[in-house]
A and B are shown apart, each in its own frame.
Chain A
Amino acid sequence: MKPSTKFAVGASVIVAAVGFMIFQGIQSTGKYFLTPTQLVSQTEKDPRYVNYGLKVSAKVVRGSIHRDLEHNRIDFSISDGTKSFPVVYTGPASSIPDTFTDANDIDVVVEGKLGRDGTFRATDVIAKCGSRYEPVMQQQTKAS
């Protein structure tokens, strides 16, 4: 076999391995990423989406955050304008990013499960970086 053919064989093995690992990785760790409206329509179509680990992206409803430090629990609501859910996060407050606030419609990604009672039990809350809400700032500029 020519060395370049040998190399081609070796390279194909590596490329195939990378492809397989990517495929395998997505199969075993991928998570659905839905908006509240999509989640509602999916659970109506297919009840397996209830109590199934997934991520929901929405905005924090203004003024809805209730922090209960005593019980390590934060209650809030998320909405995409059409559908909204109450969310319960249980865990240390220090794991929640500083940018998590209900002051100005921030985007939030919650990871967890939607219970049968319609409450989303979050295991992780990710809020977007607060420094760059330029559209909001521009609105304020126009208002002032």
Chain B
Amino acid sequence: MTLLGNFALWAALLLALWTAAMAFFTDWQRRPMLAVAVTRGVYAICAALLVATVALWRGIFSHDFNIEYVWAYTSRNLPSYYLVSAFWAGQKGSLLFWAVILSLFAALAQALTSTRHKHLLPYVAGVTSLVVAFFVSVMLFGHGNPFERMAVTPPDGKGLNPQLQNPGMVMHPPLLYLGYISITIPYAFAIAALMARSLDTGWIVAMRKWALASWLFLSIGITLGMWWAYVELGWGGVWAWDPVENAPLMAWLTLTAFLHSVMIQEKRGMLKRWNVSLMIGTFLLSIFGTFITRSGVISSVHSFTQSDIGYFFLALLLVSGVVSFTLLYTRWPMLVAEVQLESLLSRESAFLFNNLALVGIAFAVLWGTLFPIISEAVRGTKITVGPPFFNQVNIPLGLFLLLLTGIGPLIAWRKASTANLQRQFIVPLVCATITVVGLVILGLHDFYPLVALGLSGFVIGTVGQEFYRGIRARMTLHDEGMAIAVLHLVERNRRRYGGYIVHIGIVIYFVAFTGLAFQEKKDFDLAPGATETIRSPFGHTYLLKHMGVSQYTRLNRQVTAAALGVSVNGKSLGTMTSETRQYIDSFGNPTFEPSHEVVIRSTLQEDLYVVYGGSPDGTERARFTVIVNPLVAWFWIGGGVLIVGGLITMWPGGPQLRTQRRRAAPQAGYSVPLAGVAE
């Protein structure tokens, strides 16, 4: 199988180089057969990498421990669903995973893109093939080959890290990778548009769904990462501003900015340079993210220790950065805005500020993440910044962004009149006021939480008003019932109302983050039968009783479990059992260090989160860390809402003709001077 795998990798590399050469150096514009050959080249790369994928999975499932990768990440007693995820558990496998998924996306982009954009497709194929060639080269020349064999065959493998033996961890890395990888496709369209000098909105229409898909994958990947950190790492939070978390966040922020600013380009023909730059920046950030998590240049909890693979990524980062921006520079005059900003009180301007805030947050995160390196280079001493820095800078910026989320949809394109502002802002402002006053009466007096929740009320007011008006209009104009009106409203304007649903998801995230500010945390040392209490910010009192410690052996681990009898406000909730686990191989020898398994009791209001910290030798006394986390469940609910909204915006088919610019038809009621053409 490794022979076949190696063969497939070499085939993929040669095919990718051939396809890229055909795309960039031949005269396919005049000879359609060549363009067809380029597309077939993309399909062939994909086929070769699928063969390599099957080969690696076969090696894993047949327990061929002579293959170094199989030995390093699996064992005979590993449950079979973790054998599937072992494919991307290690560096080498995730390189192959990256390459095969990218080649699949590249093939889909060729197959699904409308023939209207066929003047871009060979260039798109060229860019994607080069990136695939890069990943295959790292495998073949950068000590990243998952098919490497060893001199001897060990009887059993080393097993999978216990922290990766979690259902969330089966899904989190591939989804995050899907996000990172799919960014290559819209980036390839941007480069193709630059190369073909085809710089109208065509490339944006062609790649919009891909950008949305990347955004959705990144969102899901980041949320699953938060969930994994929460249930597996045992510190009771969801976000630690670790470089490995910051990396996808930065790409997500610039991509979010892009998704908003392309709307201005579609509607008004502005911001062309900015949009291309944002797309290039997002791609570079995705590569940069891979670089910092794999090179060890920045100390991170998850760093792959000092491997030279990082320097391949650094090279890719530099080369693609220089080439992309040089290309952009040579096309600069073709990217002139068609109109100018007409008023500061306009949706364009709200979107521009939204972009500034998003890019500002991304920059602050980048600066904080890189500061150890910058300070060492400039002042000779390494200085690190942690969560206090990121919170201090990003909370005000995040709240500003939340405010704009509410304002953007309310304000008219081009120029808002006073009448427009009055008509639009009353309901959301009333919602915000009611929220703040209500919370103050209920006893909340902290500044940031009040601002965050007040702004959340404002955004909900905005979205609610938009839905209400749309539904009412349909009910009167088309004589539809309520449910039908809702359905048709969303179905006929998927991007708009899907986007609003995403905004609701974001608001829910803000509410959940606000809840984390009220976390209660206590450490207890309990003899069997002893009790302790912890009070939640919502006023509930939890009574915890230590019920004793037990030890037993499971499939691939020895478990020490400590049970707590829990009651809230005098009402029993049953027993919560937290474990420490010692994983063992099939001979009973310990593998890895002991790991902690937290136990969580989750409600919509708050989570009770218990970690068993072990017992002093020979006693049944147990140490527990007990945390009450308000509103954590809303992270996962917000994630769900966001996915639903995102899927609605990208659902295929339906009336998508409204994407054409409506510059000629000013909305009734607003005074609109005809746009100046000169810049």
Binding site for B on A (CB under 8 A): 3-4, 6-7, 10-11, 14-15, 18, 21-22, 24-26, 28-34, 38, 42, 55, 57, 69-70, 72, 91-95, 97-101, 103, 107, 109, 126-135, 137, 141, 144
Tell me the minimal C-beta distance from B560 to chain A in angstroms: 13
Q: A28-B392, A130-B592 are in contact. Are A94 and B613 (CB under 8 A)?
A: yes
Residues of B within 8 A of A28 (CB): 388, 392
Q: A94-B623, A144-B152 are in contact. Are A18 and B305 (CB under 8 A)?
A: no
- Option from A18, A29, A32, A135 in Cβ contact (under 8 Å) with B388: A29
Residue of A nearest to B383 (CB): A30
Residues of A within 8 A of B389 (CB): 25-26, 29-30
Binding site for A on B (CB under 8 A): 68, 72, 89-91, 150, 152, 154, 158, 160-164, 233-235, 299-307, 340-344, 346, 349, 352-353, 356-357, 360, 363-364, 367-368, 371-372, 375, 381-386, 388-389, 392-393, 396-397, 523, 525, 592-596, 611-617, 623-625
Q: A100-B593, A130-B161, A131-B163 are in contact. Are A4 and B364 (CB under 8 A)?
A: no
- Option from B235, B305, B384 in Cβ contact (under 8 Å) with A134: B305
Contact between chains at A32 and B382 (CB < 8 Å): yes
Between B160, B353, B382, B624, the greatest number of chain A beta carbons within 10 A of the residue's beta carbon is seen for B382
Contact between chains at A69 and B91 (CB < 8 Å): no
Contact between chains at B595 and A26 (CB < 8 Å): no
Tell me the minimal C-beta distance from A75 to chain B in angstroms: 15
Residues of B within 8 A of A15 (CB): 356, 360
Residue of A nearest to B72 (CB): A137
Q: How far is the CA of A93 from the CA of B346 in the complex (A)?
A: 55
Q: How far is the CA of A102 from the CA of B208 in the complex (A)?
A: 50
Contact between chains at B163 and A98 (CB < 8 Å): yes
Residues of B within 8 A of A29 (CB): 385-386, 388-389, 392
Residues of A within 8 A of B523 (CB): 72, 91-92, 94
Residues of A within 8 A of B161 (CB): 129-131
Q: A7-B349, A109-B299, A128-B303 are in contact. Are A93 and B342 (CB under 8 A)?
A: no
Contact between chains at B617 and A69 (CB < 8 Å): yes
Residues of B within 8 A of A30 (CB): 371, 375, 383-385, 389
Residues of A within 8 A of B162 (CB): 98
Q: How far is the CA of A28 from the CA of B235 in the complex (A)?
A: 25
Tell me the minimal C-beta distance from A50 to chain B in angstroms: 16
With A34-B382, A55-B384 given, name 16 new contacts (CB 8 A): A7-B341, A11-B352, A14-B360, A22-B368, A25-B385, A33-B382, A33-B384, A69-B616, A94-B613, A98-B162, A99-B593, A107-B299, A128-B300, A131-B161, A132-B302, A133-B305
Residues of A within 8 A of B617 (CB): 69
Q: How far is the CA of A28 from the CA of B388 in the complex (A)?
A: 9
Contact between chains at B303 and A129 (CB < 8 Å): yes
Residues of A within 8 A of B384 (CB): 30-33, 55
Tell me the minimal C-beta distance from B391 to chain A in angstroms: 9
Interface on chain A toward B: helix, strand, loop, or mixed SS? helix
Q: A93-B613, A98-B595, A128-B303 are in contact. Are A11 and B152 (CB under 8 A)?
A: no
Contact between chains at A141 and B68 (CB < 8 Å): yes
Contact between chains at B304 and A92 (CB < 8 Å): no
Contact between chains at B302 and A129 (CB < 8 Å): yes
Residues of B within 8 A of A126 (CB): 301
Residues of B within 8 A of A57 (CB): 299
- 29 residue pairs of the A-B complex, CB under 8 angstroms, read A3-B341, A3-B342, A3-B344, A4-B340, A7-B341, A11-B356, A14-B360, A15-B360, A18-B393, A24-B392, A25-B364, A25-B385, A29-B385, A29-B386, A29-B388, A29-B389, A33-B383, A92-B623, A94-B234, A94-B623, A94-B624, A98-B234, A98-B593, A98-B594, A98-B595, A100-B593, A109-B299, A127-B301, A137-B72
Q: How far is the CA of A98 from the CA of B598 in the complex (A)?
A: 12
Residues of B within 8 A of A101 (CB): 593
Tell me the minimal C-beta distance from B642 to chain A in angstroms: 26
Contact between chains at B593 and A21 (CB < 8 Å): no
Residues of A within 8 A of B154 (CB): 144
Residues of A within 8 A of B393 (CB): 18, 21-22, 25
Tell me the minimal C-beta distance from A49 to chain B in angstroms: 10
Contact between chains at A69 and B615 (CB < 8 Å): yes
Residues of A within 8 A of B594 (CB): 98
Q: How far is the CA of A55 from the CA of B385 in the complex (A)?
A: 10
- Option from A11, A18, A72 in Cβ contact (under 8 Å) with B397: A18
Tell me the minimal C-beta distance from A1 to chain B in angstroms: 9
Residues of B within 8 A of A11 (CB): 352-353, 356
Q: How far is the CA of A103 from the CA of B154 in the complex (A)?
A: 21
Q: A29-B385, A97-B233 are in contact. Are A69 and B592 (CB under 8 A)?
A: no
Residues of A within 8 A of B72 (CB): 134, 137
